[in-house]
């Protein structure tokens, strides 16, 4: 999969920020795919600004992937999903680390890719770290429903997404 990332960069303009955003978006998409492969979207619903970018093309680039549970469960753990993602990325020869916090209502993880920008020729600093933050709110927002959506951006991922119920009622379309 890292070879596919190199292919994406080879087709991209020489603009450094744009090339970094391609890496960011690919890794986020791949992470969504890996989370889906592990069954996270049986319980997690994708939401927030990055979800809007992936689902509706909003021009917003952040490192965060935000989710809520589809039911309240403050004892929920994200650790097995994050560990599974890191194991899969490690098998693809990414150098990574992670920090998981599960002591709050919003469970979080920082997944750190070490030296990747340097390896791809996007940084002069061999130790530069790129991070993706994953947050899962164990108290889902009131007044929201869920829908299934397929993301086809670099990879294919089947996601559960959170949508305000008033939007679902007003729009009979499927996602």
Domain ranges, ordered by start, for the chain = 2-170
Taking a C-beta distance cutoff of 8 angstroms, is the pair 138, 103 a contact?
no
Q: Could you read off the pLDDT of 42-66 as tens digits, one per residue?
A: 899 888 888 777 777 777 667 799 9
pLDDT computed for residue 32 by the predictor: 92
pLDDT at residue 173 tops 50: no
Instruction: Please state, in angstroms and rounded to a whole number, the distance separating the CA atoms of residues 27 and 22.
Output: 9
The closest alpha carbon to 53, from 41, 44, 45, 62, belongs to 62
Beta carbons of 77 and 69 less than 8 angstroms apart? no
Mean pLDDT of 152-161: 62
Amino acid 157: pLDDT: 64
pLDDT band for position 170 (50/70/90)? very low
Average pLDDT, the chain: 85
Q: CATH top-level class for 2-170? A: alpha beta
Does the structure show a pLDDT above 90 at 70? no
pTM: 0.85
Check residue 53 and give its pLDDT.
79
> What confidence tens digit (pLDDT) does each residue in 83-127 have?
999 999 999 999 999 999 999 999 999 999 999 999 999 999 999
């Amino acid at each position: 999969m890292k070879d596919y990332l190199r292919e994406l960069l080879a087709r991209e303009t020489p603009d450094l920020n744009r090339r970094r955003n391609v890496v960011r978006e690919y890794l986020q998409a791949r992470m969504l795919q890996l989370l889906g492969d592990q069954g996270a979207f049986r319980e997690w619903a994708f939401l927030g600004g990055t979800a809007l970018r992936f689902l509706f093309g909003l021009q917003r680039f952040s490192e965060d992937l935000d989710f809520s549970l589809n039911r309240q469960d403050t004892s929920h753990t994200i650790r097995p999903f994050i560990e599974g993602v890191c194991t899969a990325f490690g098998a693809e020869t990414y150098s990574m680390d992670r920090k998981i916090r599960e002591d709050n209502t919003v469970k979080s993880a920082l997944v750190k890719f070490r030296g990747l920008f340097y390896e791809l020729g996007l940084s002069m600093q061999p130790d530069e770290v790129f991070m993706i933050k994953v947050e899962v709110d164990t108290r889902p927002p009131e007044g929201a429903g869920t829908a299934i959506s397929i993301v086809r951006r670099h990879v294919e991922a089947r996601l559960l997404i959170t949508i305000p119920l008033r939007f679902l009622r007003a729009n009979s379309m499927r996602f």
